[in-house]
Amino acid sequence: MSNRTIYSLFISFCCLTAFAADGADPGAAFRAECAKKAATGEDISIPGADGWLFLRAELRHIGVGPFWGEAAAKVSKASSPEKADPLPAIIDFHAQLKAAGIELILAPVPCKALVYADKLGGPAEGRVDAVHQEFYQQLAAKGVKILDLAEAFTKEKAKGPLLYCKTDTHWSPYACELTAKLIKERLGSPAWLKAKPGAFTITTGKRTITGDLTDGKGSEELPVRVVTSADNSALEDKTSPVVLLGDSHTLVFHSGQELHGTGAGLADQLAAELGITVDVIGVRGSGATPARVNLLRRAKAEPAYLAGKKAVIWCFAAREFTESNGWSLVPFSSVARPAGTTP
């Protein structure tokens, strides 16, 4: 057992002890149990009840406790200590976009095990993500707009279809649909959002997938809301005022191939809700630093690119706060333009 694993278990034990003393956090015991499960065995997935599979790295993330400030370097898998803390990178990105007249909405995808804790022996009701809530409060205090998907998902999970694939690391098509509606609600009706009535067609159906946690040996069927453009054009647009930025959660059910088809991902659902196509910058890896680097590259290659942007939706798996390769500052000052200026 590595020193970092031992430290993670120690932190989880300390959190459990502290919260148990006053009963303030009913999820502490569950998070400590996640740390134990993550530290035992080598398989990428950990089985839960009723055929559910959970990513080991996600359980490790849940179990480490606070992951910002002084604790960051001790619990993060970042390549160097100075890249371990996600807080400065997110605040800096927000500030740079704001200076360019671009709104940032941070939409971390909650850990599947924190929403469906009961499938791993945790509580069936209520929130068990106190650590994440505290982190989001830190960001909100700095002016960062947070879309608290865990709150919505916890309320919704007993009502509608599954919010996550049982056998895959990603969320479900229904979660993409729900998230798109929440993003639309958060954006409101700004003057720049010029919806195109009748531009998209919606159909419903079923889709069978082979989850990436099954080693190619299992499948599951999911309900889908499929969005298509009325003129059969692509559901991505580089000139869109809205950028969807992040990891494979921005690509699943949208980009095809091993990402489970097209037409039902977050980008597609956003098009249906907003009435416009969005610009997608998603990576099949970390949505932490690489996604922002890709945004910077596009801005450098196209001088007028950022001038037309009004909102960036930054969406990635919450486990990346500790499991990514690190949170670097990405300077946009050389390409971003102050609000109100023209190229």
> How large a percentage of the chain has pLDDT more than 70?
90
Query: Residues with Cβ < 8 Å from 252, sequence gap 6 or more?
Result: 170, 171, 176, 259, 260, 265
pLDDT of residue 26: 75
**Residue 208 near residue 221, CB atoms below 8 Å:** yes
Q: Does a structural domain hold residue 66?
A: no
Give the phi and the psi of residue 223 in degrees, each rounded to 5.
-70, 145
DSSP letter string, 162-175? -SB-TTSSSBPHHH
CA–CA dist 276, 179 (Å, integer) = 16
Per-residue model confidence as pLDDT tens digits over 69-113? 999 999 999 999 999 999 999 999 999 999 999 999 999 999 999
Q: Does a structural domain hold residue 93?
A: yes
Query: Residues with Cβ < 8 Å from 109, sequence gap 6 or more?
Result: 149, 171, 175, 249, 315, 316, 317, 318
Query: Confidence class of residue 217 from pLDDT cuts 50, 70 and 90?
Result: confident
204: containing domain: 80-323
Q: Does a structural domain hold residue 243?
A: yes
pLDDT of residue 232: 83
Q: What is the mean pLDDT of residues 143-150?
A: 97
Residue 258 reports pLDDT greater than 90: no
Over the chain, what is the mean pLDDT? 91
Q: Is the dihedral of CA 167, 323, 267, 281 positive or negative?
A: negative
Q: Does a structural domain hold residue 85?
A: yes
CA–CA dist 56, 54 (Å, integer) = 6
Q: Does a structural domain hold residue 94?
A: yes
Q: Give the number of domains in the chain.
A: 1
Per-residue model confidence as pLDDT tens digits over 167-178? 999 999 999 999
Provide the token pair at 213.
């946690």
Q: Does a structural domain hold residue 262?
A: yes
Q: Does a structural domain hold residue 111?
A: yes
Alpha helices by DSSP H, 116-264: 130-141, 149-156, 173-187
> How large a percentage of the chain has pLDDT more than 90?
83
Q: Does a structural domain hold residue 1?
A: no
How far is CA 86 from each of CA 63, 69, 245, 287, 319, rounded to the nearest angstrom? Answer: 17, 9, 16, 12, 11
